[in-house]
Amino acid sequence: MKRYQAVKEQRTYVDRTLIFIVLFLLCFGLIMIYSASAYAAMRANEGSAFYLFSQAKATLIGLAAMVIVSRFDYHILRKLAWPAYGVSCIAVLLVLTPLGMTKNGARRWLNIMGQSLQPAEICKVGVIVFFAAYICANLKRISKASGFLQTMLLTFLPCALVYFVTDNLSTAIIIFCIVYIMLFVASEKSIWYILGAVAVAGLALLMVYVVENNIIPAEMSFRLNRIKAWRNPEAYASSTSYQTLQALYSIGSGGFLGKGLGQSTQKLGYIPEAQNDMIFSIICEELGMFGALAVMLLFILLIWHFMMIANNAPDLFGSLLVTGVMTHFAVQVVLNIAVVTNTLPNTGITLPFISYGGTSTLFLLTEVGIVLSVSRSIRFE
């Protein structure tokens, strides 16, 4: 008891560095959004700061959510596991109801009281919370074949919903990756996961080979076509790979120190919606390779902090929660940069905290709130 009191007298651990990194990324993101979107906003007669204000609003709400969530004990989330899973799936299904909203030709949004919301983002948080609790409760079973299959079924449901209902392959992949890596970390037979990942990578390479050599006609699906465009962007310069190629031009024209903040020319109508998925290319153009390196270092620091919190969390549940969040960030950053640099075929993935997107920022901050909540429960000797 004495010892306990002594511990209690210690102030709770707050990861200030993490908070600083997050705030820095948020501010930097706002600046870049303003830089990248001012032209497009004015072209749309909305005033140059339209996207900036919209994003700032979401950021403030998100920060509030982060603070609130970080104050709660994260163990509550264990009880909310199944409801979170249900809400995630239903939210995605709601897109099919009149609440659904179509933007840019894709029905991926919900319109709730005039605010647009991307249910796929809710789904990501829900999946992290649910599987952290689920793995915690079934730690032995998931290493067995039957338990693994059951887990996979639970994983595929939200993935399938996201893919088929909102036609959003990239988010489905991210959700799958999050669960897969959480399982990998928790499972006792992790070697199979590595083999599985290698197998998937091999399949993907085979697919690329097949498409590239026209064994399957690429016209069958626009996704196959994207693979062709990915391998040879110049050949599809005016159609499929227009955006990719413009992003590459942007990156290539930046040089080491870039053209200077706000000096990008590619954002003037050449890169469509430069403030969105392709914002990293604007960073490269305006701030150069140096700016890109700085941003990547910040994300590495962020992920490093997540890892340390996960490794020092008081229990498995907390660790798995943080692992999920860490995976979410890592996968999204890696995929985004890979797409922008045409290392992977083009697919719509945003850069956390920097790309424009209210829902995304709001839920990412909520996730950071969960991580902070876990970190608060860490006690020092």
Partner 1 sequence: MRKKVRERSKENKNKERPKENKVRKFTSMMKKKLVLLFVAVLAIFAGLLVRIVHINRDNGDSYKKQVLSQQSYDSTILPFKRGSIEDRNGSIFAYSEKVYNVIVDAKLMNTDEGVHIEPTLRALKECFPEADIDEIRTYIKENPGAQYKKFLKRMENDKVVKYREMEAESAADSELDESEKISKNAVWFEEEYIRKYPYDSVACDAIGFVQGNNVGQYGLEEFYNSTLNGLNGRAYGYLNNDGTIERTIKQATDGNTIITTLDVNIQSIVEKHIREFADKYKNNYRLGPAADNVGVIVMNPNNGEIYAMASNPVFNLNDPRNMEDIDLTRYLSLVSGNKTEPDVPIDDEVAVDEEETEDITEEISADDAGEETLNEEDITGQAEESGNSEAETVSEDPLESTEIKNAVWKNFCISDTYEPGSTMKPFTVAAAIDAGKITGNESYECDGALEVGGHVIHCHNRFGDGILNVREGIAKSCNVVLMDIAFALKRDEWLRYNRNFNFGLKTNVDLAGEVNGAETTFTEKMGLTDLAVASFGQGFNVTMIQMISGFSALINGGYYYQPHLVSRVINPEGAVVNEYGDRIVKQVISSETSDKIRDYCTAVVMSDPEECTGWTARPAGYTMGGKTGTAEKLPRSAKNYLISFIGFVPAEKPEVICYVVIDHPNVEDQSNSTRLATLMCHDIMTEVLRYLNIFPTLELTEEEQEQLKNSELDFSEGAVSENAVSGNSVSGNEAQEGEGQTGEDAGTVSVDNAMVPVEGEESGERVIQYDPETGFPIDPNTGEVLDPVTLLPIDENVPSDLEF
Candidate residues 23, 42, 64, 149; the one interacting with partner 1 per rule CB under 8 A: 42
252 binds partner 1 per the rule CB under 8 A: yes
Among residues 68, 90, 216, 293, the one that binds partner 1 under rule CB under 8 A: 293
Q: Report if residue 294 touches partner 1, rule: CB under 8 A.
A: no
Residue of 356, 296, 357, 358 lying closest to 329 (CA atoms) = 296
Q: Which pair of structure tokens corresponds to residue 132?
A: 């952290």
Rounded to whole angstroms, how far apart are CA atoms 283 and 266? 11
Which one of 19, 81, 92, 136 is in contact with partner 1 (CB under 8 A)?
A: 136
> Should residue 11 be labelled a site residue for partner 1 when binding is judged by CB under 8 A?
no
Residue 310 touches partner 1, criterion: CB under 8 A? yes
Give buried/exposed letters for 68-90 (b at 16+ CB in 10 A, else e).
ebbeeebeebbeebeebbebbbe
> Which tokens in the block code for residue 313?
């969390």
Strand partners, 111: 116
For partner 1, which residue of 241, 323, 355, 361 counts as binding (CB under 8 A)? 323
Using alpha carbons, list the distances in angstroms from residue 350 to 174, 276, 338, 358. Answer: 11, 7, 11, 11
Would you state the structure tokens that stand for residue 5, as one six-digit string? 């009191």
CB of 38 to partner 1, least distance (A): 6
Q: How far apart are CA 218 and CA 226, in angstroms?
A: 9
Give the rounded distance of the alpha carbon of 285 from its chain centre: 23
Does 354 sit near partner 1 (CB under 8 A)? no
Among 181, 278, 349, 362, binds partner 1 (CB under 8 A): 181
Query: Per rule CB under 8 A, is residue 308 in the interface with partner 1?
Result: yes
Judged by CB under 8 A, the residue of 93, 173, 253, 301 near partner 1 is: 253
Q: Quick one: which segment of 92-100, 150-158, 198-206, 238-246 binds partner 1 (CB under 8 A)?
A: 238-246
Q: How far apart are CA 161 and CA 328, in angstroms?
A: 18
What is the side-by-side strand order in the sheet with 106-112?
100-103, 106-112, 115-117
- Count residues contacting partner 1 (CB under 8 A)? 70
Count the alpha carbons within 13 Å of 100 in the hemisphere toward its beta carbon.
Answer: 17
Output 326-332 pairs: Cβ under 8 A, ≥24 positions apart. Answer: 327/177, 327/178, 327/181, 327/182, 328/124, 328/128, 328/174, 328/178, 328/364, 328/367, 329/299, 329/302, 329/303, 329/364, 330/303, 331/174, 331/177, 331/178, 331/181, 332/174
| Interface with partner 1, residue 307, by CB under 8 A | yes
To partner 1, the closest distance from the beta carbon of 297 in angstroms equals 9
Q: Interacting stretch for partner 1, rule CB under 8 A, among 21-29, 93-101, 119-127, 284-292?
A: 284-292
Interface residue with partner 1, options 52, 69, 128, 303 (CB under 8 A): 303
For position 319 contacting partner 1 by CB under 8 A, the verdict is yes
12 touching partner 1, by CB under 8 A? no
Q: Which is nearer to partner 1, 277 or 359 (CB)?
A: 277
Binding site for partner 1 (CB under 8 A): 4, 7, 15, 38-39, 42, 48, 75, 136, 139, 181, 184-186, 188, 190, 238-239, 242, 248-256, 265-266, 268, 270, 284, 289, 292-293, 296, 299-300, 303-305, 307-320, 323, 326-327, 330, 334, 337-338, 341, 343, 377-381
